[in-house]
Amino acid sequence: MEIKICIGSACHLKGSYDVIKNCQSYIETNQLESEIELKSAFCLGRCSEAVSVQVDGSEVFSISPETAEGFMKMMHTRIKL
Amino acid sequence: MRKFENQVQLIKHELLTEVAKHAFIGTLEENLDQIPITVNPGPDEKYRCCIFHERAITTDRIKMVLGGDPEKNGIVEVLDSACDKCPVDRYVVTEACRGCLAHRCENACPVDAISICKGKAVIDQQKCIECGKCKESCPYNAIADVMRPCRRDCPTNAITIDHRKKAVISYDECISCGACVYNCPFGAIQEKSEIVEVINMIRTPNQAVYAMLAPAFSAQFNYVPLGNVITGLKLMGFRDVIEVALGADLITQHEAEELVQFKYNNKTLTSSCCPSFVEFVHKKFPELIDNISHTVSPMTATARLIKSIDPSAKVVFIGPCIGKKLEKMRVKDTDYVLTFEELAAMIDAKSIDLNALTPQPLDNASYFGRKFASTGGVSSSVNHYLENQGVVDLKLESCDGIEACSKALTLLKFNKSNVDFIEGMACKGGCIKGPATMHHGPKDIKALEDYAKSALEATPKDALRVFDTASISFI
Protein backbone atom coordinates (compact mmCIF):
# COMPACT_ATOMS: atom_id res chain seq x y z
CA MET A 1 0.00 0.00 0.00
CA GLU A 2 1.25 3.46 -0.89
CA ILE A 3 0.19 6.38 1.31
CA LYS A 4 0.97 9.88 0.07
CA ILE A 5 0.78 12.75 2.52
CA CYS A 6 0.47 16.27 1.17
CA ILE A 7 3.23 18.59 2.33
CA GLY A 8 1.99 21.59 0.32
CA SER A 9 1.63 24.92 2.08
CA ALA A 10 -1.95 24.57 3.26
CA CYS A 11 -1.46 21.05 4.63
CA HIS A 12 1.89 22.00 6.14
CA LEU A 13 0.18 24.69 8.19
CA LYS A 14 -2.43 22.20 9.35
CA GLY A 15 0.23 19.87 10.65
CA SER A 16 1.17 17.52 7.83
CA TYR A 17 4.67 17.13 9.25
CA ASP A 18 3.11 15.78 12.44
CA VAL A 19 0.78 13.55 10.45
CA ILE A 20 3.84 12.06 8.77
CA LYS A 21 5.58 11.62 12.12
CA ASN A 22 2.55 9.89 13.65
CA CYS A 23 2.03 7.62 10.64
CA GLN A 24 5.73 6.72 10.64
CA SER A 25 5.67 5.80 14.30
CA TYR A 26 2.58 3.60 13.75
CA ILE A 27 4.38 1.81 10.94
CA GLU A 28 7.45 1.28 13.11
CA THR A 29 5.47 0.11 16.14
CA ASN A 30 3.55 -2.41 14.07
CA GLN A 31 6.47 -3.33 11.81
CA LEU A 32 4.61 -2.53 8.62
CA GLU A 33 7.63 -1.21 6.70
CA SER A 34 7.34 -3.86 4.01
CA GLU A 35 3.61 -3.36 3.56
CA ILE A 36 3.01 0.36 3.75
CA GLU A 37 5.14 2.85 1.87
CA LEU A 38 4.89 6.41 3.17
CA LYS A 39 5.56 9.17 0.61
CA SER A 40 5.16 12.91 0.45
CA ALA A 41 3.13 14.66 -2.23
CA PHE A 42 2.29 18.17 -3.28
CA CYS A 43 -1.20 19.61 -3.53
CA LEU A 44 -3.91 16.94 -3.82
CA GLY A 45 -6.58 19.56 -4.47
CA ARG A 46 -8.40 19.53 -1.13
CA CYS A 47 -6.75 22.52 0.51
CA SER A 48 -9.82 23.63 2.45
CA GLU A 49 -9.99 20.46 4.57
CA ALA A 50 -7.48 18.92 6.99
CA VAL A 51 -4.22 17.35 5.79
CA SER A 52 -4.81 15.51 2.50
CA VAL A 53 -3.67 11.89 2.36
CA GLN A 54 -3.97 9.76 -0.75
CA VAL A 55 -4.07 5.97 -0.70
CA ASP A 56 -2.79 3.99 -3.69
CA GLY A 57 -3.15 6.94 -6.02
CA SER A 58 -6.92 7.22 -5.76
CA GLU A 59 -8.89 7.80 -2.55
CA VAL A 60 -8.08 11.07 -0.71
CA PHE A 61 -8.65 11.31 3.06
CA SER A 62 -8.49 14.36 5.31
CA ILE A 63 -6.39 13.57 8.36
CA SER A 64 -5.24 15.65 11.30
CA PRO A 65 -2.27 14.81 13.54
CA GLU A 66 -4.81 13.62 16.13
CA THR A 67 -6.68 11.30 13.77
CA ALA A 68 -3.54 9.94 12.11
CA GLU A 69 -3.31 6.88 14.34
CA GLY A 70 -6.96 5.97 13.79
CA PHE A 71 -6.47 6.34 10.05
CA MET A 72 -3.44 4.06 10.14
CA LYS A 73 -5.39 1.45 12.10
CA MET A 74 -8.03 1.54 9.36
CA MET A 75 -5.39 1.07 6.69
CA HIS A 76 -3.81 -1.71 8.73
CA THR A 77 -7.17 -3.52 8.80
CA ARG A 78 -7.48 -3.10 5.03
CA ILE A 79 -4.14 -4.79 4.50
CA LYS A 80 -5.13 -7.68 6.73
CA LEU A 81 -8.34 -8.25 4.74
CA MET B 1 -4.93 47.92 -8.99
CA ARG B 2 -1.32 47.63 -9.90
CA LYS B 3 0.51 50.94 -10.10
CA PHE B 4 3.16 50.95 -12.78
CA GLU B 5 6.49 52.53 -11.94
CA ASN B 6 6.85 53.95 -15.42
CA GLN B 7 5.58 53.84 -18.99
CA VAL B 8 8.19 51.24 -20.00
CA GLN B 9 6.74 48.75 -17.51
CA LEU B 10 3.25 49.53 -18.72
CA ILE B 11 4.11 49.07 -22.41
CA LYS B 12 5.82 45.77 -21.66
CA HIS B 13 2.89 44.63 -19.54
CA GLU B 14 0.31 45.45 -22.21
CA LEU B 15 2.20 43.49 -24.82
CA LEU B 16 2.95 40.49 -22.60
CA THR B 17 -0.71 40.36 -21.59
CA GLU B 18 -1.88 40.43 -25.20
CA VAL B 19 0.50 37.63 -26.22
CA ALA B 20 -0.45 35.57 -23.15
CA LYS B 21 -4.16 36.05 -23.85
CA HIS B 22 -3.77 34.47 -27.28
CA ALA B 23 -1.45 31.76 -25.97
CA PHE B 24 -4.00 30.72 -23.34
CA ILE B 25 -6.72 30.19 -25.93
CA GLY B 26 -4.41 28.78 -28.59
CA THR B 27 -4.80 31.57 -31.13
CA LEU B 28 -1.32 33.09 -30.96
CA GLU B 29 0.10 31.96 -34.25
CA GLU B 30 -2.66 33.29 -36.48
CA ASN B 31 -2.78 36.58 -34.57
CA LEU B 32 0.93 37.41 -34.37
CA ASP B 33 0.75 39.96 -37.22
CA GLN B 34 -2.26 41.60 -35.67
CA ILE B 35 -0.85 42.14 -32.18
CA PRO B 36 1.19 45.30 -33.00
CA ILE B 37 -1.99 46.90 -34.30
CA THR B 38 -4.05 45.80 -31.29
CA VAL B 39 -1.42 47.13 -28.88
CA ASN B 40 -0.80 50.33 -30.83
CA PRO B 41 -4.22 51.00 -32.41
CA GLY B 42 -3.47 54.57 -33.52
CA PRO B 43 -4.27 56.62 -35.47
CA ASP B 44 -2.11 58.87 -33.30
CA GLU B 45 1.21 57.82 -31.84
CA LYS B 46 1.57 57.76 -28.05
CA TYR B 47 5.30 57.66 -27.36
CA ARG B 48 7.32 57.79 -30.55
CA CYS B 49 7.49 59.79 -33.76
CA CYS B 50 4.69 57.95 -35.52
CA ILE B 51 2.37 55.01 -35.12
CA PHE B 52 4.39 52.92 -37.59
CA HIS B 53 7.53 53.27 -35.52
CA GLU B 54 5.61 52.22 -32.42
CA ARG B 55 4.29 49.16 -34.21
CA ALA B 56 7.76 48.29 -35.49
CA ILE B 57 9.07 48.40 -31.91
CA THR B 58 6.17 46.23 -30.75
CA THR B 59 7.08 43.72 -33.46
CA ASP B 60 10.64 43.61 -32.12
CA ARG B 61 9.34 43.20 -28.57
CA ILE B 62 7.16 40.29 -29.66
CA LYS B 63 10.28 38.55 -31.01
CA MET B 64 11.79 38.77 -27.50
CA VAL B 65 8.56 37.55 -25.89
CA LEU B 66 8.75 34.55 -28.21
CA GLY B 67 12.30 33.78 -27.11
CA GLY B 68 14.51 36.23 -28.98
CA ASP B 69 17.29 35.48 -31.43
CA PRO B 70 18.59 31.92 -30.88
CA GLU B 71 21.84 32.97 -32.60
CA LYS B 72 22.55 35.46 -29.83
CA ASN B 73 24.22 33.74 -26.97
CA GLY B 74 22.77 35.92 -24.21
CA ILE B 75 19.57 36.58 -22.34
CA VAL B 76 19.14 40.28 -23.08
CA GLU B 77 19.04 41.93 -26.51
CA VAL B 78 18.97 45.48 -27.79
CA LEU B 79 15.83 46.26 -29.78
CA ASP B 80 17.30 48.10 -32.74
CA SER B 81 14.08 49.89 -33.57
CA ALA B 82 13.67 51.19 -30.01
CA CYS B 83 17.26 52.32 -29.43
CA ASP B 84 17.88 55.65 -31.15
CA LYS B 85 17.60 58.59 -28.87
CA CYS B 86 20.57 58.82 -26.56
CA PRO B 87 23.26 61.43 -27.12
CA VAL B 88 26.58 59.86 -27.86
CA ASP B 89 28.74 62.76 -26.68
CA ARG B 90 29.25 62.04 -23.02
CA TYR B 91 30.29 65.42 -21.60
CA VAL B 92 28.41 68.53 -22.63
CA VAL B 93 28.59 72.12 -21.45
CA THR B 94 25.19 73.27 -20.21
CA GLU B 95 23.48 76.65 -19.92
CA ALA B 96 24.92 76.96 -16.43
CA CYS B 97 28.36 77.85 -17.84
CA ARG B 98 29.02 81.41 -16.75
CA GLY B 99 32.06 81.93 -18.89
CA CYS B 100 34.14 82.59 -15.80
CA LEU B 101 37.67 83.90 -15.73
CA ALA B 102 39.38 80.94 -14.10
CA HIS B 103 38.65 78.40 -16.87
CA ARG B 104 39.36 75.52 -14.55
CA CYS B 105 37.81 73.17 -17.07
CA GLU B 106 40.26 74.22 -19.76
CA ASN B 107 43.19 73.65 -17.43
CA ALA B 108 41.85 70.35 -16.13
CA CYS B 109 41.47 68.81 -19.57
CA PRO B 110 44.47 66.55 -20.23
CA VAL B 111 43.95 66.53 -24.00
CA ASP B 112 43.22 70.20 -24.68
CA ALA B 113 39.71 69.48 -25.83
CA ILE B 114 38.23 72.56 -24.15
CA SER B 115 38.42 76.05 -25.52
CA ILE B 116 36.56 79.20 -24.58
CA CYS B 117 34.44 80.60 -27.34
CA LYS B 118 32.34 83.74 -26.91
CA GLY B 119 32.68 83.52 -23.14
CA LYS B 120 31.56 79.89 -22.87
CA ALA B 121 33.42 76.62 -22.66
CA VAL B 122 33.22 74.40 -25.73
CA ILE B 123 34.25 70.74 -25.83
CA ASP B 124 35.83 69.38 -28.98
CA GLN B 125 34.17 65.98 -29.03
CA GLN B 126 36.76 64.62 -31.46
CA LYS B 127 39.48 65.15 -28.86
CA CYS B 128 37.47 64.34 -25.68
CA ILE B 129 38.53 61.12 -23.96
CA GLU B 130 35.61 61.14 -21.51
CA CYS B 131 37.82 61.34 -18.41
CA GLY B 132 35.42 63.65 -16.57
CA LYS B 133 38.09 65.98 -15.16
CA CYS B 134 36.33 69.07 -16.60
CA LYS B 135 33.10 68.14 -14.88
CA GLU B 136 34.88 67.72 -11.56
CA SER B 137 36.69 71.00 -11.88
CA CYS B 138 33.77 73.29 -12.76
CA PRO B 139 32.66 75.37 -9.73
CA TYR B 140 29.19 75.79 -11.25
CA ASN B 141 28.56 72.12 -12.07
CA ALA B 142 27.99 73.39 -15.58
CA ILE B 143 29.32 70.31 -17.35
CA ALA B 144 26.90 67.41 -17.53
CA ASP B 145 27.75 63.74 -17.79
CA VAL B 146 25.14 62.38 -20.14
CA MET B 147 26.56 58.90 -20.52
CA ARG B 148 23.97 56.57 -21.94
CA PRO B 149 22.14 54.91 -19.05
CA CYS B 150 22.74 51.43 -20.42
CA ARG B 151 26.49 52.00 -20.56
CA ARG B 152 26.61 53.77 -17.22
CA ASP B 153 24.75 51.01 -15.41
CA CYS B 154 26.39 48.02 -17.04
CA PRO B 155 28.74 46.69 -14.34
CA THR B 156 31.02 44.86 -16.78
CA ASN B 157 31.30 47.45 -19.59
CA ALA B 158 29.60 45.01 -21.94
CA ILE B 159 27.80 47.75 -23.87
CA THR B 160 29.39 49.74 -26.68
CA ILE B 161 27.89 52.10 -29.24
CA ASP B 162 28.12 51.19 -32.90
CA HIS B 163 28.48 53.48 -35.94
CA ARG B 164 24.71 53.89 -36.15
CA LYS B 165 24.82 55.14 -32.54
CA LYS B 166 22.94 52.10 -31.31
CA ALA B 167 23.84 50.10 -28.22
CA VAL B 168 25.54 46.74 -28.79
CA ILE B 169 25.95 44.07 -26.12
CA SER B 170 29.10 41.98 -26.04
CA TYR B 171 28.02 38.60 -24.78
CA ASP B 172 31.60 37.78 -23.86
CA GLU B 173 31.30 40.42 -21.14
CA CYS B 174 27.58 40.34 -20.31
CA ILE B 175 26.59 38.66 -17.02
CA SER B 176 22.83 38.88 -17.65
CA CYS B 177 22.25 40.96 -14.53
CA GLY B 178 19.53 42.92 -16.29
CA ALA B 179 20.73 46.36 -15.12
CA CYS B 180 20.45 47.71 -18.69
CA VAL B 181 16.95 46.28 -19.09
CA TYR B 182 15.78 48.05 -15.98
CA ASN B 183 17.64 51.29 -16.57
CA CYS B 184 17.09 51.99 -20.28
CA PRO B 185 14.54 54.82 -20.18
CA PHE B 186 13.23 53.82 -23.62
CA GLY B 187 12.77 50.16 -22.80
CA ALA B 188 15.09 49.39 -25.70
CA ILE B 189 16.79 46.44 -24.04
CA GLN B 190 14.67 43.45 -23.24
CA GLU B 191 15.10 39.94 -21.91
CA LYS B 192 14.12 36.74 -23.68
CA SER B 193 10.88 35.24 -22.46
CA GLU B 194 9.45 31.74 -22.12
CA ILE B 195 5.94 32.88 -21.28
CA VAL B 196 4.40 31.14 -24.31
CA GLU B 197 6.15 27.84 -23.57
CA VAL B 198 4.94 27.99 -19.96
CA ILE B 199 1.36 28.66 -21.03
CA ASN B 200 1.50 25.81 -23.54
CA MET B 201 2.80 23.50 -20.80
CA ILE B 202 -0.01 24.54 -18.46
CA ARG B 203 -2.51 23.80 -21.24
CA THR B 204 -1.12 20.31 -21.82
CA PRO B 205 -3.70 17.83 -20.47
CA ASN B 206 -2.63 15.81 -17.41
CA GLN B 207 0.70 17.62 -17.10
CA ALA B 208 1.51 18.70 -13.55
CA VAL B 209 3.18 22.13 -13.68
CA TYR B 210 4.55 23.56 -10.44
CA ALA B 211 5.30 27.20 -9.71
CA MET B 212 8.47 27.82 -7.71
CA LEU B 213 8.07 31.27 -6.18
CA ALA B 214 11.19 33.18 -5.22
CA PRO B 215 11.08 34.80 -1.78
CA ALA B 216 11.34 38.27 -3.35
CA PHE B 217 7.70 37.62 -4.18
CA SER B 218 6.88 39.06 -0.76
CA ALA B 219 7.76 42.54 -2.01
CA GLN B 220 5.55 42.23 -5.10
CA PHE B 221 1.83 42.55 -5.67
CA ASN B 222 1.56 45.12 -2.89
CA TYR B 223 -1.99 45.97 -3.99
CA VAL B 224 -3.43 42.63 -2.91
CA PRO B 225 -2.86 40.09 -0.08
CA LEU B 226 -0.10 37.69 -1.13
CA GLY B 227 -2.32 34.67 -0.46
CA ASN B 228 -4.65 35.80 -3.24
CA VAL B 229 -1.79 35.49 -5.73
CA ILE B 230 -1.28 31.87 -4.66
CA THR B 231 -4.96 31.18 -5.32
CA GLY B 232 -4.59 32.96 -8.66
CA LEU B 233 -1.62 30.80 -9.63
CA LYS B 234 -3.58 27.63 -8.93
CA LEU B 235 -6.59 29.00 -10.79
CA MET B 236 -4.34 29.64 -13.75
CA GLY B 237 -3.45 25.97 -13.87
CA PHE B 238 -0.40 25.44 -11.65
CA ARG B 239 -0.76 22.20 -9.67
CA ASP B 240 0.93 23.70 -6.64
CA VAL B 241 3.09 26.60 -5.57
CA ILE B 242 6.35 25.85 -3.77
CA GLU B 243 8.65 28.36 -2.13
CA VAL B 244 12.16 28.63 -3.55
CA ALA B 245 13.09 29.56 0.00
CA LEU B 246 12.69 25.85 0.75
CA GLY B 247 15.50 25.25 -1.75
CA ALA B 248 17.52 27.83 0.14
CA ASP B 249 16.92 25.81 3.30
CA LEU B 250 18.06 22.70 1.45
CA ILE B 251 21.39 24.12 0.32
CA THR B 252 22.29 25.88 3.57
CA GLN B 253 23.78 22.83 5.21
CA HIS B 254 25.68 21.81 2.08
CA GLU B 255 27.14 25.25 1.51
CA ALA B 256 28.03 25.58 5.20
CA GLU B 257 29.87 22.25 5.19
CA GLU B 258 31.66 23.23 2.00
CA LEU B 259 32.75 26.42 3.73
CA VAL B 260 34.24 24.51 6.63
CA GLN B 261 36.11 22.32 4.16
CA PHE B 262 37.47 25.38 2.36
CA LYS B 263 38.50 27.01 5.62
CA TYR B 264 40.34 23.83 6.55
CA ASN B 265 42.29 24.14 3.28
CA ASN B 266 42.87 27.87 3.84
CA LYS B 267 40.70 28.83 0.91
CA THR B 268 37.93 31.41 0.58
CA LEU B 269 34.54 30.22 -0.64
CA THR B 270 32.32 32.41 -2.81
CA SER B 271 28.56 31.91 -2.90
CA SER B 272 26.70 30.29 -5.79
CA CYS B 273 23.10 31.50 -5.35
CA CYS B 274 23.24 34.58 -7.58
CA PRO B 275 23.75 33.51 -11.21
CA SER B 276 25.01 36.91 -12.35
CA PHE B 277 27.62 36.94 -9.58
CA VAL B 278 28.76 33.45 -10.59
CA GLU B 279 28.93 34.59 -14.22
CA PHE B 280 30.87 37.67 -13.10
CA VAL B 281 33.51 35.50 -11.45
CA HIS B 282 33.74 33.35 -14.58
CA LYS B 283 34.17 36.31 -16.92
CA LYS B 284 36.12 38.82 -14.86
CA PHE B 285 38.01 36.70 -12.32
CA PRO B 286 38.60 33.36 -14.08
CA GLU B 287 41.48 32.61 -11.70
CA LEU B 288 38.90 32.40 -8.88
CA ILE B 289 36.56 29.87 -10.53
CA ASP B 290 37.75 27.18 -8.11
CA ASN B 291 36.58 29.33 -5.22
CA ILE B 292 32.94 29.26 -6.32
CA SER B 293 30.78 26.99 -4.20
CA HIS B 294 29.80 23.78 -5.97
CA THR B 295 26.49 23.77 -4.14
CA VAL B 296 23.56 24.28 -6.51
CA SER B 297 21.38 27.37 -6.24
CA PRO B 298 18.11 27.40 -4.28
CA MET B 299 16.26 27.37 -7.62
CA THR B 300 17.96 24.18 -8.75
CA ALA B 301 17.57 22.55 -5.31
CA THR B 302 13.85 23.33 -5.29
CA ALA B 303 13.46 21.88 -8.80
CA ARG B 304 15.24 18.68 -7.74
CA LEU B 305 13.14 18.42 -4.58
CA ILE B 306 9.86 18.74 -6.50
CA LYS B 307 10.99 16.21 -9.10
CA SER B 308 12.08 13.78 -6.39
CA ILE B 309 8.49 13.81 -5.11
CA ASP B 310 6.73 14.03 -8.49
CA PRO B 311 9.04 12.73 -11.24
CA SER B 312 6.65 13.78 -14.01
CA ALA B 313 6.61 17.40 -12.82
CA LYS B 314 7.47 20.41 -14.93
CA VAL B 315 8.76 23.24 -12.80
CA VAL B 316 8.62 26.98 -13.45
CA PHE B 317 10.76 29.40 -11.46
CA ILE B 318 9.05 32.75 -10.96
CA GLY B 319 11.25 35.52 -9.66
CA PRO B 320 12.68 39.02 -9.93
CA CYS B 321 15.71 37.89 -11.85
CA ILE B 322 16.93 37.91 -15.42
CA GLY B 323 20.14 36.06 -14.53
CA LYS B 324 18.11 33.00 -13.57
CA LYS B 325 17.27 32.62 -17.27
CA LEU B 326 21.00 32.26 -17.87
CA GLU B 327 21.36 29.77 -15.02
CA LYS B 328 18.59 27.69 -16.56
CA MET B 329 20.63 27.47 -19.77
CA ARG B 330 23.60 26.12 -17.79
CA VAL B 331 21.86 23.83 -15.26
CA LYS B 332 18.97 21.89 -16.69
CA ASP B 333 16.81 20.97 -13.67
CA THR B 334 14.45 23.93 -13.90
CA ASP B 335 12.21 23.72 -16.96
CA TYR B 336 11.24 27.38 -17.35
CA VAL B 337 12.03 30.74 -15.80
CA LEU B 338 9.50 33.55 -15.58
CA THR B 339 9.75 37.02 -14.07
CA PHE B 340 7.19 38.66 -11.80
CA GLU B 341 6.35 40.97 -14.71
CA GLU B 342 5.54 37.96 -16.88
CA LEU B 343 3.46 36.41 -14.09
CA ALA B 344 1.45 39.63 -13.67
CA ALA B 345 0.75 39.60 -17.41
CA MET B 346 -0.45 35.98 -17.28
CA ILE B 347 -2.81 36.83 -14.42
CA ASP B 348 -4.28 39.73 -16.40
CA ALA B 349 -4.45 37.65 -19.58
CA LYS B 350 -6.63 35.14 -17.77
CA SER B 351 -8.78 38.06 -16.48
CA ILE B 352 -8.19 36.85 -12.94
CA ASP B 353 -9.32 39.49 -10.46
CA LEU B 354 -6.89 38.90 -7.60
CA ASN B 355 -8.94 41.05 -5.23
CA ALA B 356 -11.95 38.79 -5.59
CA LEU B 357 -10.12 35.60 -4.59
CA THR B 358 -9.90 33.83 -1.24
CA PRO B 359 -6.29 33.71 -0.07
CA GLN B 360 -4.35 30.45 0.20
CA PRO B 361 -1.19 30.00 2.23
CA LEU B 362 2.39 29.73 1.01
CA ASP B 363 4.37 28.16 3.78
CA ASN B 364 7.06 25.50 3.69
CA ALA B 365 10.35 27.27 4.18
CA SER B 366 12.03 28.71 7.25
CA TYR B 367 12.78 32.28 8.25
CA PHE B 368 16.38 31.87 7.07
CA GLY B 369 15.48 30.45 3.68
CA ARG B 370 13.17 33.34 2.99
CA LYS B 371 15.83 35.88 3.90
CA PHE B 372 18.05 34.76 1.00
CA ALA B 373 16.21 37.39 -1.07
CA SER B 374 18.08 40.29 0.50
CA THR B 375 21.82 40.84 0.71
CA GLY B 376 23.20 39.20 3.84
CA GLY B 377 20.58 36.45 3.91
CA VAL B 378 22.85 33.71 2.62
CA SER B 379 25.61 34.57 5.07
CA SER B 380 23.26 34.75 8.01
CA SER B 381 21.70 31.37 7.20
CA VAL B 382 25.10 29.68 6.74
CA ASN B 383 26.40 31.36 9.88
CA HIS B 384 23.38 30.32 11.91
CA TYR B 385 23.84 26.71 10.83
CA LEU B 386 27.54 26.74 11.69
CA GLU B 387 27.02 28.39 15.07
CA ASN B 388 24.64 25.59 15.97
CA GLN B 389 27.41 23.16 15.00
CA GLY B 390 29.81 24.99 17.29
CA VAL B 391 31.80 26.63 14.47
CA VAL B 392 32.15 30.28 15.38
CA ASP B 393 35.49 31.54 14.11
CA LEU B 394 34.56 32.20 10.48
CA LYS B 395 34.54 35.57 8.76
CA LEU B 396 31.69 36.06 6.31
CA GLU B 397 31.36 39.05 4.01
CA SER B 398 28.20 40.10 2.17
CA CYS B 399 28.81 42.06 -1.02
CA ASP B 400 25.92 44.27 -2.04
CA GLY B 401 26.00 44.87 -5.79
CA ILE B 402 28.61 44.04 -8.42
CA GLU B 403 30.88 46.93 -7.46
CA ALA B 404 31.25 45.59 -3.93
CA CYS B 405 31.68 42.06 -5.30
CA SER B 406 34.43 43.29 -7.59
CA LYS B 407 36.32 44.88 -4.69
CA ALA B 408 36.14 41.74 -2.57
CA LEU B 409 37.16 39.52 -5.49
CA THR B 410 40.09 41.79 -6.36
CA LEU B 411 41.40 41.49 -2.81
CA LEU B 412 40.98 37.74 -2.98
CA LYS B 413 42.75 37.56 -6.34
CA PHE B 414 45.81 39.30 -4.87
CA ASN B 415 45.74 37.22 -1.68
CA LYS B 416 44.80 40.26 0.37
CA SER B 417 41.43 38.96 1.47
CA ASN B 418 40.92 38.05 5.11
CA VAL B 419 37.42 36.59 4.84
CA ASP B 420 36.40 32.94 4.63
CA PHE B 421 33.17 33.44 2.74
CA ILE B 422 32.12 35.98 0.12
CA GLU B 423 28.40 36.27 -0.50
CA GLY B 424 27.97 37.95 -3.87
CA MET B 425 24.72 39.62 -4.87
CA ALA B 426 24.69 41.31 -8.28
CA CYS B 427 21.73 43.52 -7.48
CA LYS B 428 22.14 46.20 -4.83
CA GLY B 429 19.85 45.20 -1.97
CA GLY B 430 19.59 41.62 -3.19
CA CYS B 431 16.89 39.82 -5.15
CA ILE B 432 14.11 42.07 -3.84
CA LYS B 433 15.71 44.81 -5.95
CA GLY B 434 16.01 42.60 -9.02
CA PRO B 435 15.60 44.02 -12.53
CA ALA B 436 12.30 42.27 -13.24
CA THR B 437 10.50 43.20 -10.05
CA MET B 438 7.27 45.12 -10.52
CA HIS B 439 8.20 47.92 -8.19
CA HIS B 440 11.21 49.12 -6.30
CA GLY B 441 10.40 50.85 -3.05
CA PRO B 442 11.74 51.53 0.42
CA LYS B 443 9.22 49.10 1.93
CA ASP B 444 10.53 46.04 0.06
CA ILE B 445 12.93 44.99 2.82
CA LYS B 446 10.20 45.32 5.44
CA ALA B 447 7.84 43.22 3.33
CA LEU B 448 10.49 40.49 3.09
CA GLU B 449 11.16 40.62 6.82
CA ASP B 450 7.42 40.29 7.59
CA TYR B 451 7.15 37.32 5.22
CA ALA B 452 10.25 35.69 6.72
CA LYS B 453 8.94 36.14 10.25
CA SER B 454 5.58 34.62 9.36
CA ALA B 455 7.22 31.27 8.49
CA LEU B 456 5.94 28.36 10.53
CA GLU B 457 9.37 26.75 10.66
CA ALA B 458 12.16 28.58 12.46
CA THR B 459 15.26 27.02 10.95
CA PRO B 460 16.21 25.20 7.73
CA LYS B 461 16.49 21.98 9.74
CA ASP B 462 12.90 22.31 10.96
CA ALA B 463 11.63 23.05 7.47
CA LEU B 464 13.31 19.96 6.03
CA ARG B 465 12.57 17.40 8.72
CA VAL B 466 10.12 15.40 6.60
CA PHE B 467 12.10 15.38 3.38
CA ASP B 468 14.28 12.56 2.24
CA THR B 469 17.14 14.90 1.38
CA ALA B 470 19.66 12.09 1.16
CA SER B 471 18.35 11.20 -2.28
CA ILE B 472 18.86 14.70 -3.71
CA SER B 473 22.19 15.80 -5.11
CA PHE B 474 23.32 19.31 -4.22
CA ILE B 475 26.26 19.60 -6.54
* Of B437, B409, B444, B440, residue with least CA distance to B423: B409
Interchain pair B210, A42: CB under 8 A: yes
Please tell me the distance in Å from A78's CA to the nearest CA on chain B. 25
Give CA torsion, residues B26, B28, B34, B37, to 10 deg: 100
| Per-residue pLDDT in tens (0 to 9) along chain B, 475 residues | 788 989 999 999 999 999 999 999 999 999 999 999 999 998 999 989 999 999 999 999 999 999 999 999 899 999 999 997 788 788 999 999 998 999 999 999 999 999 999 889 999 999 999 899 999 999 999 999 988 999 999 999 999 988 888 999 999 999 999 999 999 999 999 999 999 999 999 999 999 999 999 999 999 988 899 999 999 999 999 999 999 999 999 999 999 999 999 999 999 999 999 999 999 999 999 999 999 999 999 999 999 999 999 999 999 999 999 999 999 999 999 999 999 999 999 999 999 999 999 999 999 999 999 999 999 999 999 999 999 999 888 999 999 999 999 999 999 999 999 999 999 999 999 999 999 998 888 889 999 999 999 999 999 988 888 887 777 788 8
Q: What span, in angstroms and rounded, lies between the C-alpha atoms of B109 and B123?
A: 10
The reported pLDDT for the residue numbered A12 is: 92
Q: Is the peptide bond before B43 cis (omega within 30 degrees of 0)?
A: yes
- Count CB pairs under 8 A between chains A and B: 46
The reported pLDDT for the residue numbered B357 is: 96
Q: How much is the mean pLDDT over chain A?
A: 92
Q: What span, in angstroms and rounded, lies between the C-alpha atoms of A75 and B9?
A: 55
CB contacts of B360 in chain A (<8 Å) are 9-10, 47
Q: What span, in angstroms and rounded, lies between the C-alpha atoms of B344 and B201?
A: 18
Residues of B at the A interface, defined by Cβ within 8 angstroms: 210, 230, 234, 239-243, 306, 309-310, 360-364, 456, 465-467
Q: Is B427 exposed, middle or buried (0-12, 13-18, 19+ CB in 10 A)?
A: buried
Give the three-class secondary structure for B131: coil
pTM of the model: 0.92
Q: What span, in angstroms and rounded, lies between the C-alpha atoms of B155 and B414?
A: 21
pLDDT tens readout for residues A36-75? 999 999 999 888 889 999 999 889 999 999 999 999 999 9
CB contacts of A7 in chain B (<8 Å) are 309, 364, 466-467
Give CA torsion, residues B261, B267, B271, B272, to 10 deg: -80
Interchain pair B361, A9: CB under 8 A: yes
Query: Contact B318/B339 with Cβ under 8 angstroms?
Result: yes
Please tell me the distance in Å from B240's CA to the nearest CA on chain A. 6
Give CA torsion, residues B320, B322, B325, B330, to 10 deg: -110
Which of A2, A7, A9 to mutate: most B Cβ within 10 Å? A9
Domains of chain B: 1-56 (no CATH), 67-81+152-192 (3.30.70.20), 91-145 (3.30.70.20), 196-471 (no CATH)
* CATH code of the domain occupying A2-80: 3.40.30.10
